[in-house]
Amino acid sequence: MIPVFSVPGTNQVCVQDLDALGEIRQFLAFDPEHFHSVPVMAPALQKDEGEAGVLAFWSSPFEVLVGTSIELRALIAPISPSLLPDFVALEAATLLEDEQLLVSAAERVAKRIRSTSGRATFVSRAAGRRALMQHLRERAREEVAEAQKSSVEDYLSALQSDVSAGDWMNVWRQAIRLHNSTRLYDVAMWKLSTDGLRDYAYLVFNHISSRWAVNKLTEVAAGWLHRHDFDTEQWGQIYRLFFHRLSADDYPLGLNYLEYSSKEEHDHRSIIAWCEIWSGLWERGFERQTLIELAVSVQRGVPDNDFLPLVCAPLIREASQGWAYERMQHWLCFPNVQSAWVHCFIEFADPAGISEQYEAGLQWLEQMGSGSNQWIKLWEFMRSSMDQATWLGFAHLWLARARKDLKSWPDVFRLLVTEYGSPVTPALRHAARTWLKESRAPYYPAVIAETADLADEMLVNDQWYISASDEASSTTGVRRAR
């Protein structure tokens, strides 16, 4: 699968260009029109060039495995290749760098090739993937080692020279990767104060926001916001990033931006930034009547996924806006992978009274929650809308499908078996065994092992978890294996 990203401050869709080490070399523009999208839960990740790239495998109709190459190897390793489609099995074997699996997967794919000679060529080339990837990685490591020989002073000298903004950003990113020096943050702030990074301002502010002196950084950001017009593509993103640090004196500036970007001719605005700035000003009680009028003026031109949770939800709670309520009720009739949809469903939906919402809730529980900790909240909310057997059946299904690293997995297991007395079926025991082997969570291991009659299999990550009866008197909860 192809993980898709959006560029902050724009509607541009892009994909990663990864190097041999699995790190992001650059982002490339991407047109998803001719690709099939998959309606499953996937995490929202923020990535920058030079960071570990994101890979994705569609492991079942209800689950996508997402993570860095290291994380995915750990997730894919326990899956039997025979359970994966032919071409997915080939990519999985390449990622795992298992020569035997590579040949086996290549032979499966080769059966689709009519020509005998073409079939043999394909298998031999596929088998050589492992050696090729090792060679490329080694060469990439050598290039990194060479770059590390440059000192902070070398990079600072280059960054203070007269170069284009694009080249400046490439040098600065490489310098930050190799030398985590505050002097590199200082030179970035100097560059921003001279307006030399107009098109990259958000990327720099966002990268530094958790690493530099908060007060100084907020002062630089406020100065940048006052110097630039609203038609600067990244203005809304930067205001949104620093909103909680800005003073009340800067609130009118945010309201002016909302008024400016709500006009139809300014279609470049970032919807998520507009909605979050609106939400932030509303929470602070700033010019609420004006905010209501702005929301009404843009309601027909913005998509539901950001507008409804951030704008309509507070308007329903605190301003009794009928149009917002009607739009919310319609949105909740169609399941959505966003966690915000789940929050709004629990707060505003009426599955017992509206059949479309009841069906939407069931569909989300069955098809869209295998990667979400929100599943348990919606499951408990739907309890009063269905009979006990059906309700518990959803939990059995979810425990088998859900990612075992979810914090809510042991909570659902305990509720199902301990609280509601559901029998431990072979499928549930298998899921518990998988959780014990794969999860690194420090909570509930003894309870799950003993409940699933797996107390003799409690060797997890080279540690024996103590029994449930000893758990209360222990401070660590674990003992090293002997």
375-389: pLDDT as tens digits: 999 999 999 888 989
pLDDT for the residue 367? 84
Band (268; pLDDT cuts 50, 70, 90): very low
* pLDDT 10s digits, 390-435: 999 999 989 888 877 788 888 898 888 888 888 888 888 888 887 7
pLDDT for the residue 129? 56
Residue type, 409: W
Candidate ranges 64-78, 131-145, 181-195; pick with highest mean pLDDT: 181-195
- Any residues with CB less than 8 A from the CB of 447 and at least 6 apart, and which? 410, 414, 418, 468, 471
Residue 167 pLDDT > 90 = no
Candidate ranges 41-50, 142-151, 202-211, 282-291; pick with highest mean pLDDT: 282-291
pLDDT for the residue 20? 61
Answer for the pair 279, 308: CB distance below 8 angstroms, yes or no: no
Percent of residues, the chain, with pLDDT higher than 90: 19
Separation of alpha carbons 95 and 290, rounded Å: 54
- The more confidently predicted of residues 431 and 291 is 291
Q: What are residue 230's phi and psi, to 5 degrees? A: -65, -20
